[in-house]
Amino acid sequence: MASLEFVPSEPLLQRMLLADLDEQARGLFDQISALETGPALLRFLRSHPQTYLTADDIAFQLGLAPEVLERDLKTFVQWSVAQVTRAANVTLYCLTSDPKHRCIVEELYTWQDRWEARLTNMKRLVFGAPHP
């Protein structure tokens, strides 16, 4: 059986988790994580990159309060993670079309997928779960 190394502190664990990210992605991760709806909103926008929706529509899809979600959407627009379009007195949001910021978002998701796979493997080692 594999031996597991003890992780002595939460800050050390956080540094280990974030070590794979470049400085810009790490900064964006910190900012998004600090928002009430940040991670869920980013996940939604990434899964619907070409879809323009109102804040109310996105809030409904995510089961979140529209006023909180709209505040975080406006923050995403300021950070160039989302873009806004206004038409016929309706404000619509979608994931940014800026290649630089899209690349950072993709890096965050690649990083998340890698860590999810690592954690699944650790769970298998610790609890003896069968391979899929």
Please provide the DSSP assignment of 48-84 as one string: STT--B-HHHHHHHHT--HHHHHHHHHHHHHTTSEEE
Note the pLDDT tens digit of each residue in 41-78.
Answer: 998 999 998 899 999 999 999 999 999 999 999 999 99
CA–CA–CA angle 48, 49, 50 (5° rounding) = 100
- In this structure, is residue 13 part of a structural domain? no
Whether 72 is in a domain gets the answer: yes
pLDDT of residue 113: 81
Band (3; pLDDT cuts 50, 70, 90): low
- The Cα 131–Cα 77 span in angstroms is 42
- Domain hosting 40: range is 27-117
Give the chain's domain count.
1
Here the CATH number for the domain that contains residue 82 is: 1.10.10.10
Express each pLDDT in 70-115 by its tens digit. 999 999 999 999 999 998 999 999 999 999 989 888 888 888 788 7
In contact, 85 and 121? CB cutoff 8 Å: no
